[in-house]
Structure 1
Amino acid sequence: MNRLSTPRPKAWVILRYVALTALCLVWIYPFLWLVSASLKTPLEIFSKGLNLLPDTPVWENYIRAWSQAGFSTYMFNTVLVTVGTVVVVVIHTALSGYVLGRYYFVGRSLVIGILGATLVVPAGLTIIPIVDLTSSLGLLNSHWGIVLALAGSGQSAAILLYAGYFRGLPRELEEAATMDGAGFVRVFFDIMLPLAGPVTATVTVLTFLAAWNAFLIPLVFTFGTPGLRTLPVGMLAFVGTNETDWSGMAAAATISLLPVIVFFFFVQRYFVEGIAGAVKA
């Protein structure tokens, strides 16, 4: 009786896995080097070159970054600003996309065209009117000012994504809810927004990453109030006039990146499903 033999992998399959493994190592090496540099002395960072293993791990770099450089405060500010930005962006882009996707009015095509055109406008060109508007509202040196500035700029892609998704939903959903006595607000929040879960997941992840890593707007808004700085802006604390604390900066950068990596690790499935659902719609 002949035993069933499992087919051996072909040479091209082995080469493919080898190539993918090498590519993954190239992609993750900068992060590994960053973590390694956070455990070295400034002299060792430059003397070791590309070597990842420190002679003796210097954990004091993290203590210095967290306590002395104020990154505990910066972490709180970043979490507060990021969560607030995500909430505001999801609500206002979903409402805007719902109106553009479900209602026909004079100038609708013009509005969509203007939103599409703003995708190519650099964020630096809009910083002056944003600061002027926020200052006139009395929110320049506050968390709310940063949140509104981040949530109100560069959200055209999310609006158009919601508009395309809502446009593909059947009209019978709204008609049935209207016949039951539901108004605009109830139809949107109880029926339409839950159905747009894939788009909401995509917008949430992208907005979280953008707000967490934002630098220009938090930098401008916290010139006079260092206590409101976020993590990216707080990195400037390690840059002095005559020298730079590279090991402390590496430790601070690692602290800043770890929450993002953990967050994306848990939501990557929803992000992929959201992209697939949005494209399918």
Structure 2
Amino acid sequence: MTANSSVIPPQVSAAGSEERGRPAGAGPRRRLKRSERIALILGGLVLLPIALVWIYPFIWVVSSSFKSNAEIFGSLNPFTSTLHLDNYVRAWREANMGRYFLNTIFVTGMSILISVTVNALLGYVLGRYTFPGKKIIYALLALVVFLPQGYTVIPIFDLIDALGLSGSLWGMTLAEAGGVSVIVVLLFAGYFAQLPKELEEAAKIDGAGFLRIFARVYLPLSGPVIATAVILQFMHAWNDFLLPLVLTLSQPELRTLAVGIYSLQNQYFSDWGMMSAASTIALLPIIVVFIILQKYFIESFSGAVKG
């Protein structure tokens, strides 16, 4: 212990830092110049209207869920004096949104589990091992990213039917599990490639094999990438429309929320209040999941940029 540390105890030093308005251990705050403050204010004034334009459709949908059809198209004002809570009751019961909600939870949850497990293993092999044809695999994966989903619907349907899983939630789950596989595989591969090789060597000395090194050493370190994979797969499976529409044409009871909301449209009349309520029910889980995992989502992409 040095003389300075014996004179000024850590508690006193920390308290002094907090009294000066900054946490203990933090460096001195740099005061912004006048030009920087003006630039921040101007930037905020420019970005605020843009943010309002982007968020207005969401506000409109949520507010419309509490209005009647006449009120929805009578004014663009998102506020209302009366709340039609029956829109949510009718959407949940009459429109069968409760059943579609449970179907979507099952398909999304199981597809996340399958997607993260398989893609983490693929990313681990691509990121940590060198073998002939590795660059060709990377090129093919990058090419698949730009392949529209519509081109793969029929092959996926034929594959699910050949496995005997057509007309079941498990078939839809397998179809959805490959939705964002390429992007997730590349994220895992890039992350695992930058981890030190000494971790693997130390585990091998302790007698660990391939799966144990992956599951006990590298996978626990990839928390931000796992969170990113969960968010991407969740958004894809939860919002996907084309595949669930094709796979549930003959079995409406297996519909997901996206297909269920689409089915609310009628040739002669559409209950926009009930549709807005159903859309709000479908949007809320996405917002909650992103708020919970947004820290890891940003960390993953910032780490990929640094790498």
Cα 1:112–1:240, aligned 2, differ >3 Å: closer, same or farther? same
Aligned 8 A contact 1:123 1:154 in 2: no
Q: Given the alignment of the two structures, is residue 147 of structure 1 paired with residue 173 of structure 2, yes or no? A: yes
Q: Deviations over 1:54-92 (max 9, x none)?
A: 342211111110111011111111111111111111111
Residue number among 61, 64, 72 corresponding to 1:37 in the alignment: 64
Q: Which moved more, 1:12-21 or 1:121-130?
A: 12-21
Aligned 8 A contact 1:93 1:158 in 2: yes
Q: Given the alignment of the two structures, is residue 98 of structure 1 paired with residue 138 of structure 2, yes or no? A: no
Distance across 1 between alignment mates of 2:234 and 2:205: 38
Residue number among 198, 208, 214 corresponding to 2:224 in the alignment: 198
Distance across 2 between alignment mates of 1:128 and 1:120: 18
Distance across 2 between alignment mates of 1:59 and 1:248: 10
Distance across 2 between alignment mates of 1:196 and 1:223: 39
- The residue number in structure 2 matching 1:125 is 151
Distance across 2 between alignment mates of 1:10 and 1:270: 30
* Distance apart, 1:152 and its partner CA: 2.2
TM-score by length of 2: 0.85
TM-score by length of 1: 0.92
Equivalent residues in 2 for 1:13-32, closer than 5 Å = 13-32=40-59
* Distance apart, 1:280 and its partner CA: 2.6
* Distance apart, 1:241 and its partner CA: 2.2
Aligned 8 A contact 1:238 1:246 in 2: no
Aligned 8 A contact 2:69 2:273 in 1: yes
Distance across 2 between alignment mates of 1:267 and 1:10: 31
Distance across 1 between alignment mates of 2:228 and 2:202: 28
Aligned 8 A contact 2:223 2:296 in 1: no
Q: Please give the root-mean-square deviation of Cα atoms over the aligned residues, in Å.
A: 1.8
Aligned 8 A contact 1:141 1:222 in 2: yes
Aligned 8 A contact 2:91 2:277 in 1: yes
Letter of the 1:162 counterpart: F
Aligned 8 A contact 2:180 2:232 in 1: no
Q: Percent identity?
A: 48
Q: Given the alignment of the two structures, is residue 233 of structure 1 paired with residue 239 of structure 2, yes or no? A: no
Q: Given the alignment of the two structures, is residue 258 of structure 1 paired with residue 279 of structure 2, yes or no? A: no
Tell me, what secondary structure is at the counterpart of 1:207?
Answer: helix
Letter of the 2:46 counterpart: A
Aligned 8 A contact 2:180 2:233 in 1: no
* Distance apart, 1:7 and its partner CA: 8.9
Residue number among 138, 147, 161 corresponding to 1:112 in the alignment: 138
Structure 2 unpaired stretches of 5+: 1-31
Q: Given the alignment of the two structures, is residue 208 of structure 1 paired with residue 234 of structure 2, yes or no? A: yes
Aligned 8 A contact 2:103 2:256 in 1: yes
Tell me, what secondary structure is at the counterpart of 1:257?
Answer: helix
- The residue number in structure 2 matching 1:280 is 306
Report the structure number with the largest CA radius of gyration: 2
Distance across 2 between alignment mates of 1:7 and 1:159: 44
- The residue number in structure 2 matching 1:135 is 161
